[in-house]
Amino acid sequence: MVRITVEMVRNKAEHHDRLLAPLEEIALHQENIEKIEFIQDWCPKLKILLMQSNLIAKIENLNRLKHLTYLNLALNNIEVVENLDRCESLEKLDLTLNFIGEIVSVESLVGNYNLANLYLTGNPCTDFDNYRDFVIGTLPQLSALDGIDIERSDRIKALQNLPMIRSDILFEQKNYKYQRKAQKSRLENTIKEKWDTEYSNMDIDERNKKFWAEKTEHAPEVRYEIERMRQLKLKSYESEDKKEEKREIRLFTSDGRPFNINQPKIDFKFSDEEDLNLYVLDLAIYKHLDTNLLDIDIQSNYVRVIIKGKIFQLHLPQEIDITNSKAQRSQITGHLVVTMPKSNFTLKKPLKYKESLVSTKQKPNVNKEMGMTSSKREFLEIGPSDDILDFTKITQSNQKPYYIDPRLILTEKKPSPEFVDNPEVPDLI
């Protein structure tokens, strides 16, 4: 059972800064509310109350709303018009598509002298003979009934025949009450038996399919059953969502290898462009999806795209160059194209010191500038230390003269005058 709460009313009063006391209009339609309560205490200055498309079975707890001018209770389970005699300002009352069979109950609206518009279309009472004449004669303050203006001649005719019309209405109403009582008992037993036996052993989808395919009667009990089915369907969706939330998505194996994941179930195309030495990933992203909802992560061995919180991950067969990788999105189709160049870097074995000292016999020296090669091992020959360079043989030529360091020229040094050669003193080593 859905009940009216403070938070529900405050959420509907956002246009009024969530304040309830000065509120003059509120819409509580399609909330599956089954009982009217608390509104007259929280919103005493209310003028417009919209509560159509709920499961309200009784009009109640509205007698303090002295400023209420428009009340909409269409598409509910109301069977009797009551408890509105103190709503002095009420001008429009909409009870379309309810289950009002006690048409005499409209006599409770005689004191609502401001009531000008009344809607009873779709109620069982509209099938009674002289229904319109009875309502017009009973409520002389009305200017329109079921959206049709009341002429002066219609009112005179209704008032002249009102006693006879009322007796006929009471007879038809009595028959309806008897039929309604039998219908209510039959439907309650049928629905209870159906849910206890037939539906209890069925799958959720199968039960929904069978329920919506059956023909049903127009009665309050059927509306309650429809709401019960709707709630069960919502619960099944909630349970599925919880199961998906509890499920943990593993992105990598125990040894660190990335999984291939397509959680958003999106179409894609992965191609290996060998001529261009790169990989191309084409994701068929929805055309009207905002790019801000995409999160792209490119690593050396995988690419990951998060689309509205759902993960798409693809393991790459070869390492790629992350720096030169790029992602682009088409403004026409919305597709996301990720271009990933392959990594050509290979780690070579470092040379050891002994391996670097290779003989020129094994690896001849190539002088690219001179265009000469040498396959023989060359040695630097040094002559005897006693030889003295003969500089007289150096002749001038077109070549540049050699530079001679003076320190390399050998000269004979004379002993100092104070030097004494003592044969007993050993020579210096």
Structural domain tally of the chain?
A: 2
**Nearby residues of 54 by Cβ (< 8 Å), 6 or more positions away:** 28, 29, 30, 31, 32, 33, 34, 75, 76
d(CA 81, CA 138): 14
225 domain residue, yes or no: no
Which pLDDT value is given to residue 343? 86
45 domain residue, yes or no: yes
188 domain residue, yes or no: no
d(CA 283, CA 216): 48
Say if residue 160 is in the same domain as residue 286. Answer: no
d(CA 292, CA 274): 32
Say if residue 69 is in the same domain as residue 169. Answer: yes
69 pairs with which residues across the strands? none
Q: Are 262 and 312 in contact (CB under 8 A)?
A: yes
Q: Which segments of 108-147 are extended strands (E)?
A: 117-119, 144-145
Residue at token pair 């329109």: 144
Q: Which tens digit of pLDDT belongs to each residue from 77-107?
A: 999 999 999 999 999 999 999 999 999 999 9
Which pLDDT value is given to residue 14? 72
Residue at token pair 């309050």: 220
Say if residue 266 is in the same domain as residue 148. Answer: no
Q: Is the pLDDT of residue 363 over 90?
A: no
391 domain residue, yes or no: no
Q: Is the pLDDT of residue 353 over 60?
A: no
- The 8-class DSSP code of residue 13 comes to T
Q: Is 227 exposed, middle or buried (0-12, 13-18, 19+ CB in 10 A)?
A: middle
163 domain residue, yes or no: yes
Say if residue 152 is in the same domain as residue 273. Answer: no
Which pLDDT value is given to residue 344? 72
Using alpha carbons, select from 106, 182, 100, 178 the residue that is nearest to residue 139. 106
Say if residue 21 is in the same domain as residue 168. Answer: yes
Final residue of a domain: which of 307, 341, 375?
A: 341
- The 8-class DSSP code of residue 155 comes to H
Q: Are 81 and 56 in contact (CB under 8 A)?
A: no
354 domain residue, yes or no: no
Q: How confident is the model at residue 182 (pLDDT cuts 50, 70, 90)?
A: very high
Using alpha carbons, select from 212, 132, 130 the residue that is nearest to residue 172. 130
Say if residue 12 is in the same domain as residue 159. Answer: yes
Q: Which tens digit of pLDDT belongs to each residue from 284-302?
A: 998 888 888 889 999 989 9
Query: Of 16-30, 123-137, 191-205, 401-415, where does mean pLDDT reach its minimum?
Result: 401-415
Which pLDDT value is given to residue 67? 95
Final residue of a domain: which of 341, 357, 391?
A: 341
Say if residue 168 is in the same domain as residue 266. Answer: no
Q: How confident is the model at residue 373 (pLDDT cuts 50, 70, 90)?
A: very low
Q: Is the pLDDT of residue 428 over 70?
A: no
Say if residue 168 is in the same domain as residue 283. Answer: no
**SS3 category, 121:** coil
| Cut 0.75: pTM above it | no
CATH of the domain at 75: 3.80.10.10
Final residue of a domain: which of 294, 320, 341?
A: 341
249 domain residue, yes or no: no
Q: Are 20 and 42 in contact (CB under 8 A)?
A: yes
Which pLDDT value is given to residue 157? 92
Q: Which tens digit of pLDDT belongs to each residue from 298-338?
A: 998 999 999 988 899 999 998 998 988 999 998 888 899 99
Say if residue 26 is in the same domain as residue 150. Answer: yes
**Nearby residues of 165 by Cβ (< 8 Å), 6 or more positions away:** 130, 133, 134, 137, 158
26 pairs with which residues across the strands? 49
146 domain residue, yes or no: yes
Look up residue 335 and give its two tokens.
Answer: 């597709």
d(CA 369, CA 377): 20
CATH of the domain at 336: 2.60.40.790
Q: Which amino acid is at 392?
A: T
Look up residue 204 and give its two tokens.
Answer: 């959720």
Q: Which tens digit of pLDDT belongs to each residue from 107-149?
A: 999 999 999 999 999 999 999 999 999 999 999 999 999 999 9
Residue at token pair 């100092």: 416
Say if residue 133 is in the same domain as residue 36. Answer: yes
**SS3 category, 280:** strand
Residues of the domain holding 279: 261-341
| Strands 310-315 and 261-262, sheet pairing | antiparallel
Q: How confident is the model at residue 405 (pLDDT cuts 50, 70, 90)?
A: low
